[in-house]
Amino acid sequence: MPMFTKKEITDILKDNTQNTELFRLADRIRQENVGDEIHLRGLIEFSNICHCTCKYCGLRVANKNIERYRLAPDDIILCAKNAVNAGYKTIVLQSGEDIFYSKDIMCKIISEIKNLDVALTLSIGERSFKDYKAFKAAGADRYLLRIETTDTNLYKKMHPNMDFKNRLNCLYNLKELGYETGCGSLIGLPDQTLESIACDILFFKELNADMIGIGPFIAHPDTPLIGTKNGDFTLALKAMAITRIMLKNINIPATTAMETLKPNGRTIALQSGANVIMPNVTTKECRKKYEIYPGKATPDEDVREYRNSLEEKIKSIGRMVSKGHGFRGQ
Ligand code: 5AD
């Protein structure tokens, strides 16, 4: 099976004459390595408060045009119970980098949710080795932390006051602690090159990431990137397909950003290498307020209704919803 070089990946990204073949190959490799089952991960966006300054993100601390919220631990646990009752086997807890959720508070939430017999993923940003270790001991199974871009100059431009090295460190700490580790990048950031996207994919391979989320950048009007061009759906899809071909048995979500940029984008992604969907199971009032980018495709239905409608969609493309926890390679 192909193990592409930087030059080869860049050439594939550049050339649009063989996209259909690329997507078909990624779909075949998906089927051979992880089968036809789709894993549904119930996503709880429990706080949109964030001290970071990422230039592309609507949750950035400088954005005053957003109504902030923070769910109480008991309410987070209620959301999780609701999702488990609707059939979810994985809960993903995601938030801005909100220091209210101390190590001890997080550990309490984690152990309560783990009592529900689910796999638990965290996506709460950069924390100390000590915190990551405590979360793991409390029962967390997986952790998502996108590198966003491996181009260190672009990283610096996009993340004032943040440190690329620390992000790398966090990723290697998560791996060392035994988390299933998720990474990924944004496609279409201003001044991003195809070469740097190729390097992102090679980095995923080097890290031996267990999950990769790739989504197009969508310009948010309340950020410094207002008025810049959105990322390209097809380019994001190609980066995802190459990632599938190179990392084979990992879990790859059809991202919400893909669905937001293109109607049916998520279904197209599922047919081009993806095998995971992360439906929003946060209480309805909060879903809209977690506005990382504008127009985010969020469900209007309640948790159970939405899951049922997704199941129908999944069946209609000849796939089925997994009943397992969906660890890597399962
Ligand atoms: N467009 C698309 N994706 C975004 N993210 C943050 N801001 C945007 C945006 N404007 C992604 C980042 C982050 C994930 C939770 O959301 O990659 O890791």
Residue type at 297? Answer: A
**Residue 40 clears pLDDT 90, i.e. is over it:** yes
Q: 216: CA distance to ligand 1 center in Å?
A: 8
For residue 299, give both structure tokens: 């469900």
Determine which residue's CA is closest to atom 18 belonging to ligand 1. Answer: 146
Whole-model pTM above 0.85? Answer: yes
Question: If you average pLDDT over residues 169-186, what whole number do you get?
Answer: 98
CA distance 129 to 185: 23
**pLDDT at position 1 over 60:** no
pLDDT (tens digit, 9 = 90+) per residue, 68-93? 999 999 999 999 999 999 999 999 99
Amino acid at 79: C
Per-residue pLDDT at 257 exceeds 60: yes
Structure confidence at residue 322 as a pLDDT band (50, 70, 90): very high
Q: What is the mean pLDDT of residues 98-113?
A: 98
Residue 196 has pLDDT above 60, yes or no: yes
Q: State which of 292, 293, 296 you would mutate to test the pocket of ligand 1, scoring each by most atoms of that ligand within 8 A of its C-beta.
A: 292
> Which residues make Cβ contacts (< 8 Å) with residue 204, sequence separation at least 6?
183, 184, 212, 243, 246, 247
Q: What is the DSSP letter of 280?
A: B
Atom 13 in ligand 1: which residue has the minimum CA distance?
A: 146
Residue 218 pLDDT greater than 80, yes or no: yes
Q: Are 186 and 55 in contact (CB under 8 A)?
A: no
Half-sphere exposure of 131 (CA within 13 A, CB side): 15
DSSP 102-140: -HHHHHHHHHHHHTTS-EEEEE-----HHHHHHHHHHT-
CA of 66 to the centre of ligand 1 (A): 16
Instruction: Give nearest CA residue, ligand 1 atom 8.
Output: 57
Structure tokens at 59: 């949750």
| Residue owning tokens 């199971």 | 281
Instruction: Compute the half-sphere exposure of residue 24: CA atoms within 13 Å on the CB side of its CA.
Output: 4
Q: What is the pLDDT at residue 298?
A: 87
Arithmetic mean of pLDDT over the chain: 97
Q: Are 163 and 192 in contact (CB under 8 A)?
A: no
Q: Measured from the CB, is residue 236 less than 6 Å from ligand 1? A: no
Q: What is the mean pLDDT of residues 33-59?
A: 98
pLDDT top residue among 295 and 100? 100
Quote the percentage of the chain above a pLDDT of 90: 95
Beta carbon of 247 within 6 Å of any ligand 1 atom: no
Percent of the residues in the chain that have a pLDDT greater than 70, as a whole number: 99
Supply the DSSP symbol for 38: E
pLDDT tens track for 268-312: 999 999 999 999 999 988 999 999 999 888 888 999 999 999 999
What is the model's pLDDT at position 329? 82
pLDDT tier at 2 (50, 70, 90 boundaries)?
low
Q: What is the pLDDT of residue 72?
A: 98
The dihedral built from the CA positions of residue 67, 72, 73 and 74, taken in this order, carries a sign that is: negative
**pLDDT of the residue at 306:** 95
pLDDT of residue 297: 86
d(CA 298, CA 257): 10
pLDDT the model gives residue 276:
98
SS3 content of the chain, % helix, strand, coil (to 5): 40, 15, 45
| Ligand 1 atom nearest 148 alpha carbon | 17
220 lines ligand 1 (CB under 6 A): yes
Q: Calculate how far, in angstroms, residue 1's C-alpha sits from the geometric centre of ligand 1.
A: 31
pLDDT tens for each residue of 141-157 = 999 999 999 999 999 99
| 330 vs 273: which has the higher pLDDT | 273
Interval between CA 293 and ligand 1 midpoint (Å) = 7
Measured between alpha carbons, how far is 309 from 90 in angstroms, rounded to an integer? 18
- Residue 118: CB within 6 Å of ligand 1? no
pLDDT reading at 113 higher than 70: yes
d(CA 83, CA 174) in angstroms, rounded, equals 26
d(CA 257, CA 295) in angstroms, rounded, equals 9
CA-to-CA distance for 329 and 33, rounded, in angstroms? 7
The size of the chain, in residues, is 330
194-207 helix and 164-176 helix, angle to the nearest 10 degrees:
30
